Structure 1
Amino acid sequence: MTTTVKAPVGELLREWRDRRRISQLDLAISAEISTRHLSFVETGRSRPSRDMVLRLGEHLDVPLRERNRLLLAAGYAPAYGEAGLAAPEMAVVREAVRRLLAGHDPYPAAVVDRSWNLVDANRSLALLTEAVTPELLEGPVNVLRVTLHPEGMAPHVLNLGEWRAHLLGRLRRQVEQTADPVLAELLTELRGYPCAQPVPEVEIPGPGDIFVPLRYRHRDAELTFFSTIATFGTPLDVTVAELVIESFFPADPGTAEYLRER
C-alpha cells in the first residue's frame, strides 16, 4: 500500500478534531490523556506513541485509510491492511457479498467502494441501467455519475430534483466526514450536471412521507423504490471498511409485482 504523507501527525490530528468539532478538552477526556499532552502532540512538541495515534484515531472516528496515514505521519507502519477484493483472504467477503446480492433478487442491489465505483451487483440492477449510454457503463462505473448524468438514468428519474438533492447531500456529508479530495472533485462534477426540476436545499417530508423515494420510469411502467445501506460491522481491512451495499426495495405493490414478473 502506497501512501503519501506531507503534513506532520499533530497537524493531521488537529484537522480531524476540528472536522469533528471536538475541543481539546473533550478529546483528552474521552481518550484518557492530559490536555497538556494532547496540545504538545498537536503542536509537534511531543511525538505520540503508536498506541496513542491509534487511540486518538478511534476516538475521532477517523476512517481506517486515514488512520494509516496518521501512523505514517508519526513514523510508524500502517496498522490496517488493504487487500484487493480478489485476494485469496477476501474469499469469505466475496461470498458474503454475492449471497446478499443474489438473495435480494428480483429487486436491484449494488456494492460500491469509497468513491462510489461499482464493485458488484445483482442481475436486477440492469433494470435501472437499461437506458444508460454505454460509455457510462465502461469501467470503472461510478454509480452517482450514472444516476445523475443527462445520458444516464437522470432522464428516467421522475423525481430527479428530489433524488438529486438526496444523493448530493449524502456525498457532501461523506466529503465532510472523510476529507477525501476524490469525492470532493466528484461532488463538484455532479453539481454541474443539468436538472430541469427544482432541487430542494433541505429534505422536508410531505404528508405521509417516511423516506425519499426513487421514482423511475422503465419503459411504460412507473416504479417506486426506497433503499437501505449495509456495511460490514467489524472491519479491520481498509477495503472491507469502505464497501457499501445498497439494496432497493419496492415502495408499492405495483412495483413489486412488476419486478417479480420480470
Structure 2
Amino acid sequence: MTNNSKATFGQLLKLWRKKASLSQQQLALTAGTTPRHLSFIETGRSRPGRSIVLRLGQALDLPLRNRNALLVAAGFAPSFPERDLQDELTQPYFRAVKSILEHHEPNPGAAFNSLGAIVLANRPFRKMFPECLKLSPEQAVDTFFSPGPYRDRMENWAEVAWAWIDRQHHEVARTDNVELARLVERALDHMIDVERPEPSEGGPEVIGPRFRVGDRVITTFFTVMKIESALEIALSELRIELLFPLDVASAEFFQNLG
C-alpha cells in the first residue's frame, strides 16, 4: 500500500518524477515520448495509453507494486502479478533461494519480505535467532529495538540499529510504502535517547553486527542478494541476507554452531 493510492495518474507521475529529480524533458527522452506530451499527461489534458504508462514506470525505475499503481490510476488493469511464494509458478525461484541459504551454512542466512518478515531461514540463523522466526514485522521491530537480550548481546547495537533505520528510510522514499514507514516510525520511538555513533578513525570498512557470546565477540558482516529482472511482486521484493564471519575465531564459532 502506498501513501498516494487515491492520487490521479498525473499527480502520481509528477510525484515520482520529482522524487527522481528529473525534468519533463529528461523523463520524456528516457520514456520515448515528447516533453509536450508528458506535460499534457501530468496536467490531465491527455489520457495516456497503457504502453506509455509502462514505459514511464520503467524509465522512473519504479518498484513493480508502484508500476501497478500507475496503471490503475490511468484506468488500466495491473500488469505485474503478486503470488504466494509457494505458488507453482514461483516455486523454482523459491527453491533457488532455499538452496542459496543451505549452501551458505554453517553461516547464518535468511530471506525477508518487503516489511522485514522472515520468509525462509537456514539452520544456523534459526539457532541464533529462534524467537524471531514467527514474529510479525511489528513484533520484530519491538524485539530488536527495545531494551533486552538483543541489545545486550550485540556490542555495536546502536550502530547497527541506525544503519537499519537509514536503509529503511531510503526504501520508504523509493517505494512510498505506508506500512514500512510505520515500522520505521515505530523503531524511531525506541531511539529517542539513543545517540547516533560517530564514525571512528580506523573503524571497520563495513557496518556489521558484533555479537557477545560468553567472553568472546563474534565479528560479522552481511551481504544482500535480490532477484534481478523479476516481473512478479513478491519475488522482486525478496531480500536475501547472508551473514559472514570477519575473522578466524568467528568462523570457528559458526562451524561449531552448525
Deviation at 1:198, TM superposition (A): 3.4
State the alpha-carbon separation in 2 of the partners of residues 253 and 120 from structure 1.
Answer: 27
SS in 2 for 1:18: helix
Q: Which blocks of at least 5 consecutive residues in structure 2 are unaligned? A: none
Residue 167 to residue 99, structure 1, CA distance change in 2 (3 Å): same
Question: Does residue 82 in structure 1 map to residue 78 in structure 2?
Answer: no
Q: Within 5 Å, which residues of 2 pair with 1:90-105? A: 90-105=90-105
State the alpha-carbon separation in 1 of the partners of residues 88 and 220 from structure 2.
Answer: 35
Match of 1:199 in 2: 196
Given that 1:149 and 1:193 are in contact with CA atoms closer than 8 Å, whether structure 2 keeps it comes out as: yes
Higher relative contact order (CA 8 A, sep 6+): 2
Counterpart residue identity of residue 102, structure 2 = A
Given that 2:16 and 2:60 are in contact with CA atoms closer than 8 Å, whether structure 1 keeps it comes out as: yes
State the alpha-carbon separation in 1 of the partners of residues 245 and 70 from structure 2.
Answer: 43
Match of 1:25 in 2: 25
Question: Does residue 244 in structure 1 map to residue 243 in structure 2?
Answer: no
Question: Does residue 232 in structure 1 map to residue 227 in structure 2?
Answer: yes
Q: Within 5 Å, which residues of 2 pair with 1:173-184? A: 173-184=170-181
Q: Which digits, 9 at most, give the CA deviation of each residue in 1:127-176, with x for residues without a partner? A: 4325xxx5x65343565554333235222110112111211110111111
Q: Which blocks of at least 5 consecutive residues in structure 1 are unaligned? A: none
What is the number of equivalent residue pairs in this alignment? 253
State the alpha-carbon separation in 1 of the partners of residues 95 and 133 from structure 2.
Answer: 24
State the alpha-carbon separation in 1 of the partners of residues 156 and 193 from structure 2.
Answer: 10
SS in 2 for 1:110: strand
SS in 2 for 1:99: helix
State the alpha-carbon separation in 1 of the partners of residues 200 and 170 from structure 2.
Answer: 20
Q: Within 5 Å, which residues of 2 pair with 1:133-172? A: 134=131, 137-141=133-137, 144-151=141-148, 153-172=150-169
Residue 251 to residue 114, structure 1, CA distance change in 2 (3 Å): same
Identity of aligned residues (%): 34
State the alpha-carbon separation in 1 of the partners of residues 193 and 154 from structure 2.
Answer: 12
- State the TM-score, normalized to the length of structure 1: 0.90
SS in 1 for 2:90: helix
Residue 221 to residue 121, structure 1, CA distance change in 2 (3 Å): same
Counterpart residue identity of residue 138, structure 1 = K
Counterpart residue identity of residue 209, structure 2 = L
State the alpha-carbon separation in 1 of the partners of residues 145 and 108 from structure 2.
Answer: 18
Given that 2:141 and 2:186 are in contact with CA atoms closer than 8 Å, whether structure 1 keeps it comes out as: no
